[in-house]
Structure 1
Amino acid sequence: MTRQSASLSGLLAALLIAGAPVALAQDATKASRFYEDALQRYEKHDIAGAIVQLKNALQADKNQLSVHVLLGKALLADSQPSAAEFELGEALRLGVNRAEVAVALAMAMNSQGKQPQTLEDPRLQPAGLPPGIQQQLMLERALAQSDLGDTKAALASVLDARALNTAEPNGWMAEVPLRVRSRQFNEAHAAADQALKLAPDNAEALYQKASIFHASGQIAPALAGYERAIKANPKHAESHLARAGLLIDLNRDADALAEVNELQALKPNDPRGAYLRAVLAERANDAATSRAALKRITDLLDPVPIEYIRYRTQLLMLNGLAHYSLGELEKAKPFLELASRQQPGSPLVKLLAQVALKEPNVNRAIELLDAYVKARPGDGQALLMLASAHMSQGRHARATALMQEALRAKDSPEYRTALGLSLLQSGKAAPAAEELAKAYKADPKQTYAGLALITLHLREGQSAKALAVADNLARANPNNATVLMVQAYAKTQSGDYPGGRAGYEKALKLDPQLMEARLGLVRIDTVTGNYEAANKRLREVLKGDERNTNVLFELALLHELWGKDDEALKWLESAVDASGPRETRANFALVAWHLRKGQPARAVDAAKALLAKLPEDVEALQAYAGAQAANGDPAGAKTTLTNAARRAAFDAPRLLEVARQQASIKDYSGASYSLDKALSGNPDYVPALAMLASIDLAQGDAAKSEQRAKQVIQAAPKAAIGYNLLAEVATSRGQANVAIDALRKAHDIEKSQASLARLMRAVGAQSGPKAAIDLGEAWLKKNPSDLAVRNAVAIQHLRGHDYAAARKQYEIILKQRPNHADTLNNLANVLMESKDPGALDMAERAYKVDNRNPMLMDTAGWANHLAGKPDRALQLLRDARLRAPDNRDIRYHLAAVLAKAGRSAEAREELKAALRDNVSFASAEDAKKLLATLN
């Protein structure tokens, strides 16, 4: 039998070996046929067809060098430089001689903005290559050096390349733009003349000669030169472009339009042609055509990774200006930034500063505007922007001086509006409202002032005031869709959903493409629980724009509220994938999602992707730090937050947020640094003073904390925060009555659910649950829809072991929020305490809403255990334990289930871990008793 098996094995091996060459030969033949067809297509300029056939060839035989080389070149011709680089690199890896691909590889890398790598890559060094290849490669390297701003090195590379073959006109033509950039017009003419001597009818040489005249202001010979280049080659797009630009400068718009038409026929995807069309349309008062042309620019350039065009100043400016003109300031920013670095001191700086103020990145705006105003001291607009920026940073003296100078130049409602907006951005609501009200009263056409007032009133919870301004604006602007949309938003925020719906629908009649109005209807459907309708609306919008990040994001929010987490995550990830290099809302949300769902490792990965987009952004650093902390890396979070504090300049609100995170990981010295920095720019910034008091208390210095609390009361006597701080100090000293008195004062000043909740907790701890419940019930009589207070009342009932009363409160909450996971979970626990068999269903409902939350898993697991379902209980509790290993109650619950299943050793390990260090927890006594039975 053994011999027979061996014989069969040998026969099988022999058959396989014999068959292999035939199969491989068939694959190679098939690949070769695909390659030959692709080569013919490539030579006929059917690039797309060639790529398809080359990919078919690779499926048949992935190791054919010729296929990789031609595919790399075809992808390069198809404007896919990244894919081209991969294929050319693969060809080199498989053994192709680098002379075959070096020039194409350099072109692919330059096209991706990898100019430094082009110069450093050992595969792209000219030495050892044939002279003709060396020359082409040197010229490509010269282009990289020029893009990097090293004109001297670029010129040296051109001269070295030309020395290899002085009869090649490309070596002379490459010199011309370098000389022009350095204003060396005589040398540029000499190089162009030599190129024309070698190739008299070469359109590129004729174009380069004309460009010298153009750059030196000699318009007539420049026009004539471009015309000669076009005559030599009617398809020379650069000559059409340059001639059109000159004709626009000469106000020969009809001739320019004809030239633009020709250019766009030759190169329909050239954004420069679209820009010239936008300029001509604007001059002809054709706003629709101008906007369409600007949108065409952004459609062409946005999908291109910014690294690809980072050294192409003209394209950067085009896309920056296009986005800015379309009102898309955030999208304009990266392009304007890169372009302004290459052209410092230009008016682009003001646009960039406006973008920075909107972010808000006030420190960056100040840096930009300071330099600009020094060069142009009479620019009133720049002075106003700079004053607003300083105001937002709390530098009142500097801001006042600049604002007075600006207002002396032009004391107008427009300037008042700008001042009000800057105050609003700095968090100074009262003076902002005053300035905005003055501007709006002086000129009701100051729509921005009115819109800002609405936002401000809504933020302060003053819906009646917001609606009054919105109604006035709507009466003055009955056909302004944006105004009607904001009015609808104000109605929605005040709870008038029918009015909000009608307003959004009216706005959409005026402008069917108004996305925010469409989304407003979606949000009304969502908040009223009509998830199907909201989903249908969003899907309809998505049909017209499958990569609309706003819609994808709204779909994610909707499905999460709907309780469909898997679909919500898919939509959120789709929003991230669809987002551009500078679009980050979905990235931030994905980090928050993973943190919320108890997936810190995935949150870290998402935060790293966010930081790749915004490596210097304070908020992105904060998101990364939050993920690091959740993932058990407080040291990394500390370092990240220190970096964030440094980069936050003197932005007091942002520094406060950084400090809060630092305090959460017990980096109290870091938090103190951030808060001191915030106060150095704004000494009266109450939130920072208040938090410093809390930091002092956390470090055990109650006296210092009390001193700061009194300082807060002095700075803000009509705010509750100072008294809340005094209550914390009193509590730390064991002075319960003093704490309650302070909390009563805080609640008298600020009658809110938050102040009541604090008072209820303190009263409940001092006098028992009933006294706290009485406070809550009195509030609920006046505010029956206040779910936060109702939840606090339920908690007090639980403390008093009145499970029936607690259940009643939770059931009322669930009528308004049927899928609120925490409430479902709390009610499940109440039912378990009451030995109600409905506990299991309630716990499973909570778990279904948020199936990655270890606390909900624990409740569902324990409910299954009590219901006699050990397998389900064990599965849930093991998962919960893996997600929250530091939660001692979860470990106890798991141990109890293990013990009942007869797994005593494993149960003992869990109980020992839970009881380690003698830390108190809810199930501690039960855990000790169980362990005693197992020892």
Structure 2
Amino acid sequence: MTSRLRPPLRLAAFALAAALLAAPAEANPDRARAAEARGDLRAAQIEWRNAVRANPNDPALRAALARVSLALGDGDTAEKEARAALERGFDRREGTQLLLRAYLLLRRHNELLRDFPIDEGAQPAEVAGTVAAFRTLAHLALNQRDEARRAAATAVRLAPRLVDAQLARASVASADGDRAAFEAAVDAALAIDPDNVEALNRKAALQFERGDLAGAAATFGRIIARSPGDPLPLFRRSEVLMRSGDFDAARRDVAAGLRLAPNAPVGLLLDAMLKVQARDFQGADQSLQRIPSQTLVNLPDGLLVLATVKRALNQTAQAEDAAQRHVARRPDDPRGAKLLATIEMERGAPDAAAGTLARLVQRGRADAEAYDMLGRAHAAMRRRTESREAFERAAELAPEDAGILTRLAVARLAVGEAAAAAEAARAALARAPDQRGAREVLASAALALGDLDTARAELERLGPEARDGELAGIVDATIRLIRFDLAGAKERFEAVLRTQPDSVRARLGLARIAAIENDAARTERLLAEVLERDPENAEALRRIANAAGSGGPHGASALAILERVYAANPTSSAVALALASAHLRLRQPERAVAVLDSPAWRDRARTTQHLIVLAEARAQAGQMAEAEAAARAALAQEPRSNIARRQLATLLARRNDTGAAEAVLQQGIRLQPNDALLLQGLVELVRDARGLDAALAQADSLARAQDTRPASLALRGNLLMAANRPEEAAAAYEAGYRVAPSSALAQAQAGAWQAAGRPERAMQALQAWLEREPEDVATHALLSQIEIVQGQTAAAEERLRKVVAARPDDGISANNLAWLMQARAEAETEAGRAKLAEALRLAERAYFLTPTPETADTLGWILFRHGRAAEALPLLRQAAAGAAQRQQADPGIFVRFAHGLAATGAREEALRVLEPIVAADLRFPERAEAEALVARLRAAPR
């Protein structure tokens, strides 16, 4: 019996199993709603799908499945279920909205416009308004702005109380960049439905953009309360919290969002950003690795965060690659450019960093930090002018940043703008009294201006650590050098070199000492070491180039140094110009051409100056066609360069094409009517081609034009001076002065009257101008020189004191004042000794600012009068050596040199210096003194 019952039981079991498999799980909408509430949208979709299977004709269940599918990004399911809901009688407006949202999600913009006409009047206004609202979004997606505006206006007209209509209006305003209209539309939507998630999201975005972080956080809080299972508002609020500095709260939001969506790329990126903030770079890297690489690339700031993390982990190549890709995708983002430039600087490529930042500047997106970085990059490449310009722009954008102001001060000092450097340093200290480096700059600037007392005072205000730094050491050593404490200066410079072996400034200081001591070999060696470290150092290049081009005993070795520096830096325009200039002075133009037109320069941009010197070298080499081509290239590169334009005109005139030469100058005068060099070039060209009378007529014609004044008013006088007709020239200058008084014309009059032997008229001309402009320092300085010649030394001294006070960096005036003071000081009296001491300080400053034979003579003689003959002798020797190279040297310089030699026991050399001067038929103030010294030296026992 039992055996016969088994098969039916088996069949029943299989039937039950089949029934269980075929029937849907028990449908329960409450479970779907609960899943939605806790943010488990995938579970909610499954539950709603089960509910639809259980009740396929329930339109509300279909609509709920469509809604959750939209939230999941499942457009196909959403479209299918929205249609089914409408077919089964679901609310027409809500169902149409779900269907339209599905079309947009699937990016079926053209189909939406085709399938959903507005049909105003054929359907309820709210339905037609909904269609118009979503047609607005489709038109915007297709960049059909006019159609979008019309559709939005229709939506608002048909259904003004419809949230979708107001949001459509907001979308159009956003596309038009009308922020006020956008916010008004969002507010109107929220007035209709205060809990509308899309409107709240837009409101929060507005608050975030305008910096209302508290408001944005609160708005996102309302969204989270309405949709607690949606991770996106949690992530968005975390961004707001990060911006406001509440990183703990931001971490809580990100953690909550990742619990809802553990692999959400946005959440993982935010998690990485928070870990970067906490300097947990390993953890940040792990979070980033969970994001698919292509997804990370497409996330806003994904590549930027990746580059930041990889840089922190010393994975430089990956960091630079990520930063480069970010910059390529978002070239207007200053953060990416700055990060890439930082990485490039760290790998020792300041040129690449400067290029990255320069492109940001060109796009108009650079901020103060970017300009600051650009200044540093240029400084690293010793592009001093470009560095100063970048720091100046940074300081304009961040005038309260003491660090930027200090770097600006350093950059200004590097290009020789001492007064401006001091101004920036003082501004930095006003904002941050302990700002490192600012006091050193103040001391250096004061030193550059010859103000030793201020320089020393600033040094004394430094802390111990700063006092031991390179810049402070250089300033201290230079003060000793100016005070002519050569041993102390040398010791201090050498101390700097022990701690800073590559110091360029210490070597320059030691080179100055060696030059004073007439140790040419040591001077040359130190300057060569400077150029090894800083090939474009202006002082070292100038001194070596001067020595190389002099043809003196050390000319060949100096030229060899320049050749070595050039070989190591063949694309440095500064080095090439220095070497070419030396060759030109040695009358070797072919070698100058070879340097300036070497293969290294064939495909490189050349400066205008480079092309001008190349043109000169080719002209000297007889290569006239090539010279003209180089001059034309210089002018094409810089059409307002008066030097390039005049050079081209000169070359054209040399091949007798006077008409073309005049046309070139006339074109320049049209561009710059008041340019003295071009105006002078034109009248000289006419003079050389057609004679003085024609040139004078041309000068008068130019002077009649208002826009060429005041420069044109000096042309007639200049021509007459060149023709050695000084009285006529003075009259011409005076006539021009009456038309348009100027300092230049007053000084030109004075020069002409002096040449005519009428110093009283010269003084009258200058005094007339000073009655108009009593603070014109240059005119005071010129008048003091005439007063000195006229024997009015007291008046000259008083005037020069004012000049030196107004222009502390005027080495010539300081030298003249020092000479006057020592000449009028009686060393035997206390007042005289005090005056001589003051003269010494001025002479020290003058020699430091303007190291010429004249300033060396002044300082040397004052030291001699102080009884410091041994210290004076190198300076007096230097002055005599410089004077010997001139055709009309002041014999007094040699007399003072002989005094120095005699005082230090070099009797025979003193005689060799003096005897030719005494034997010559020369009249000079020190003649009797020289004869007496010769007699005394001859009478002295040998």
Greater CA radius of gyration, 1 or 2?
A: 2
Q: TM-score range by the shorter chain?
A: 0.3 to 0.5
What is the TM-score when the length of structure 1 is the normalising length?
A: 0.43
What is the TM-score when the length of structure 2 is the normalising length?
A: 0.43
